[in-house]
Amino acid sequence: MDKASEGILSLQPVTFRYKHELDPQAIPQFGLVAEQVAKVNPDLVARDDQGKPYTVRYEAVNAMLLNEFLKEHRKVETLETVVAELQSGDTKQAATIAQQQDEIKTLIANLKLQAGEIKKVNEEVEVSKAASRRVVETR
């Protein structure tokens, strides 16, 4: 059926009452107007002796509705899979970000330690320079 059923999505359901001679109680009915259905898909109506649409072939409409429902259901399943994959990816991404933040903190701590060590070495070099100046000056 594939795309043949897409036309039914343009049908407009209506509320109506049959003529008094057909339904003296005038019970509200729900359905489709045969002439409108014939414009969408002529195979979905039954015709009278003059070839005019007189009733809708609801069993055919139902089959087409089922086809459209199944197509939409497959789309929903696909989208649910994509959403699940994206959510899983978000969790993995969050874990990666947390790990990277920990690594950055460790690197900063190491840099601070190295900066402290460099400062000590610089101080020792300055003390050593000052001591060698004194030695040179006393000679």
Residue with tokens 């000052």: 130
Give me the residue spans of the domains in the chain: 2-98
Three-class SS of the chain = CHHHHHHHHHCCCEEECCCCCCCCCCCCEEECCHHHHHHHCHHHEEECCCCCEEEECHHHHHHHHHHHHHHHHHHHHHHHHHHHHHHHHHHHHHHHHHHHHHHHHHHHHHHHHHHHHHHHHHHHHHHHHHHHHHHHHHC
Determine the pLDDT at residue 137.
Answer: 63
Q: Residue 135's pLDDT is what?
A: 62
pTM for this prediction: 0.59
pLDDT at 67: 95
Q: What is the mean pLDDT of each run of 10 residues along the chain (139 residues)?
A: 89 94 95 96 97 96 95 96 85 84 92 89 82 65
Angstrom CA distances, 31 to 26, 67, 76, stand at: 15, 19, 27
Q: What is the pLDDT of residue 127?
A: 81
pLDDT at 98: 87
CATH code, 2-98: 1.10.10
